[in-house]
Amino acid sequence: MKAEPNQPRTEAGIREQTLRSLPRAIQEFAGQITTIGDRVLLLRCESTLTAWKSEAGLVAPDIAKERPQEAIVLVVGDGRRLDNGELVPLFLKPGDRVVHSKFPGLEISFPAISDTPFIICREDECLARIK
């Protein structure tokens, strides 16, 4: 199968394309944040934050739905320190799409930047990386 010319072929290319597709305000915000240790800054995916309509015609707003558990990694820390002082780099990279635990870390909102909340959590609260 032949790849299209605009399609990235490597994981790094896919991550870069994901970050470039974000609004400029979010890109600039992520550039100003530094997470500490094994913390990561996530942007919850908007695609699952919509209201839905039941078969009976009832409309449930996004508040009544379960929180989406998919997010994009914006910033990663330096790594995790072991008891012997060794620094272990993080597995996740900016631009990765992840599935996180139901109630991860700290949720923060900046309405001037994005209607979608940001999450700061430990890397181990991210359960899977989506390729």
Return the CATH number at 64: 2.30.33.40
Q: Report the predicted TM-score, pTM, of the whole model to 2 decimal places.
A: 0.75
**Is the model's pLDDT at 36 over the cut of 50?**
yes
The predicted pLDDT at position 1 comes to 45
Q: Please tell me the total count of domains within the chain.
A: 1
Does the residue 30 lie in any domain?
A: yes
Angstrom distances, CA of residue 24 to CA of 20, 70, 112: 8, 21, 12
Which DSSP letter does residue 113 get?
T
pLDDT digits (tens, 9 = 90+) for 14-35: 888 888 888 888 888 888 889 9
Question: For the segment 83-108, what is each residue's pLDDT rounded down to a tens digit?
Answer: 999 999 999 999 999 999 888 889 98
> Which residue range(s) make up the domain with 121?
11-130
